[in-house]
């Protein structure tokens, strides 16, 4: 008896002849124990067919081997027989991308049009247009959830993006599972989708990923959580002020300022010394929002920051906290810092220090030259 490879080759050769006398052999091949031979049988029936072909191919749509199902779907489309439509519609739910795509293409050849919202969603997804499925609303959820297991990153990400637009509670569990996707872009999309749904369960799950290995994911989590701010987030965001990512530290500083929680003051005061000017600026602005007098002394010191945007933020916050901050005891305590800054090598730092000292003391001294 010929081996599997030889049987595959013979089936391909007979199919090329187009002679119907080989149809029986091709149909029999669909039951072969070897998946390669079954696949070759389905391929052969794309080229040779008669009234026996349809039921055999429909049965092959249930084969355990994806490639057999794929080629059976292709063959059914080529037959042009509308009796195959109902079975092909069911295949739009197949777990394998290529099988679904083949079923969709076959249905196109058969001039089929989706009749329900679920069918439209399945058809869009099978054609690689998961993002379009969100317009079908709740009817698309199950189909999109199944797409989260797609082997291709692009399709998984598209499915998540579509679920974000639908905002259905049923998708929370699958989206949480997508938070463990090996691809960071899928995890980020899952964060945004969960954030759009909201609720206590979503918050609990997002907090589990606030220290994700990807700083892009951490940023997305922080951005979603700040839109649903709760007092319990405070300590998480205080920790994020020390994140290795500049963007994460920035969003943490801004969020803490909007929290209206005085417990954030000490952490924000520390952030005034961050290595990045944007973080220092946002920390200074946040302290102004909190209006806590404990920050006056440190904000006065920031009036000598090397970056003008940071100095301006500190000056504005001081005015917000206490219009008469210059006469405060805290401002007096900051004098040594300002005086030391008069010797800074940067002219603008010396000028800022001199200006601040003049404001506090009520004098009009000029900027001292840099001593050699």
Residue 5: the pLDDT is 85
Question: Considering the chain, what is the average pLDDT of its residues?
Answer: 90
How far apart CA 208 and CA 200 sit, in angstroms, is 13
Output the six-digit token pair for 238.
């205080």
Give the residue carrying structure tokens 């050849």.
109
pLDDT digits (tens, 9 = 90+) for 76-106: 999 899 999 999 999 999 988 899 999 999 9
Sign of the four-CA dihedral 281, 287, 293, 295? negative
DSSP string, 271-332: HTT-SSHHHHHHHHHHHHHHT-GGGHHHHHHHTT-SSHHHHHHHHHHHHHH-TTGGGSHHHH
Q: Which residues contact 335 (CB under 8 A, 6 or more apart)?
A: 357, 360
pLDDT digits (tens, 9 = 90+) for 54-77: 999 999 999 999 999 999 999 999
Of 310 and 343, more confident: 310
Residue 372: the pLDDT is 43
Average pLDDT over residues 292-314: 91
Residue 364: the pLDDT is 61
DSSP string, 81-110: -GGGHHHHHHHTT-SSHHHHHHHHHHHHHT
Percent of the chain residues past pLDDT 70, beyond the cut: 97
Yes or no: say if 222 and 216 are a contact pair by the CB < 8 Å rule.
no
Average pLDDT over residues 346-356: 79
Give the alpha-carbon dihedral of 127, 133, 135, 140, to 10 degrees.
140
> Which has the minimum average pLDDT: 31-45, 73-87, 254-268, 317-331?
317-331
Residue 368: the pLDDT is 58
pLDDT digits (tens, 9 = 90+) for 178-207: 999 999 999 999 999 999 999 999 999 999
Yes or no: say if 308 and 335 are a contact pair by the CB < 8 Å rule.
no
Confidence label for 134 from pLDDT (cuts 50, 70 and 90): confident
Domain boundaries, the chain: 1-113
Class of domain 1-113: mainly alpha
| pTM of this structure | 0.76
Residue 366: the pLDDT is 58
Average pLDDT over residues 145-151: 88
Residue 330: the pLDDT is 77
């Amino acid at each position: 008896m010929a081996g599997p490879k030889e049987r595959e080759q013979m089936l391909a050769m007979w199919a090329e002849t187009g002679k119907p006398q080989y149809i029986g052999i091709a149909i029999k091949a669909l039951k072969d124990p070897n998946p390669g031979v079954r696949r070759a049988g389905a391929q052969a029936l794309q080229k040779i067919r008669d009234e026996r072909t349809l039921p055999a191919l429909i049965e092959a749509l249930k084969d355990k081997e994806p490639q057999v199902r794929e080629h059976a779907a292709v063959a059914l489309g080529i037959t042009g027989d509308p009796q195959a439509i109902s079975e092909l519609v069911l295949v739009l739910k197949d777990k394998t991308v290529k099988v679904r795509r083949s079923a969709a293409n076959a249905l196109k050849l058969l001039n089929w049009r989706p009749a329900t919202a679920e069918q439209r969603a399945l058809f869009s997804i099978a054609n690689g247009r998961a993002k379009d499925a969100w317009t079908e609303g709740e009817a698309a959820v199950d189909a999109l959830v199944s797409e989260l297991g797609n082997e291709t990153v692009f399709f998984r990400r598209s499915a998540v993006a579509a679920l974000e637009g639908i905002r259905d509670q049923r998708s929370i569990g699958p989206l949480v599972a997508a938070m463990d996707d090996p691809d960071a872009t899928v995890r980020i999309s899952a964060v945004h989708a969960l954030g759009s749904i909201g609720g206590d369960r979503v918050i609990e799950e997002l907090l589990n990923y606030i220290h994700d290995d990807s700083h892009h994911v951490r940023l997305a989590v922080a951005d979603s959580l700040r839109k649903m701010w709760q007092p319990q987030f405070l300590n998480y965001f205080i920790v994020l002020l020390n994140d290795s990512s500049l963007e994460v530290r920035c969003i943490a500083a801004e969020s803490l300022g909007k929290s209206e929680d005085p417990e954030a003051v000490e952490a924000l005061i520390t952030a005034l010394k961050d290595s990045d000017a944007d973080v220092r600026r946002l920390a200074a602005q946040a302290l102004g929002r909190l209006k806590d007098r404990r920050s006056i002394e440190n904000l006065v010191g920031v009036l000598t920051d090397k970056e003008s945007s940071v100095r301006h933020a500190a000056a504005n916050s001081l005015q917000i906290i206490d219009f008469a901050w210059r006469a405060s005891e805290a401002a007096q305590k900051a004098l040594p810092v300002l005086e030391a800054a008069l010797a800074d090598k940067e002219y603008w730092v010396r000028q800022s220090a001199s200006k601040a000292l003049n404001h506090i003391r009520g004098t009009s001294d000029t900027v001292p030259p840099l001593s050699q």
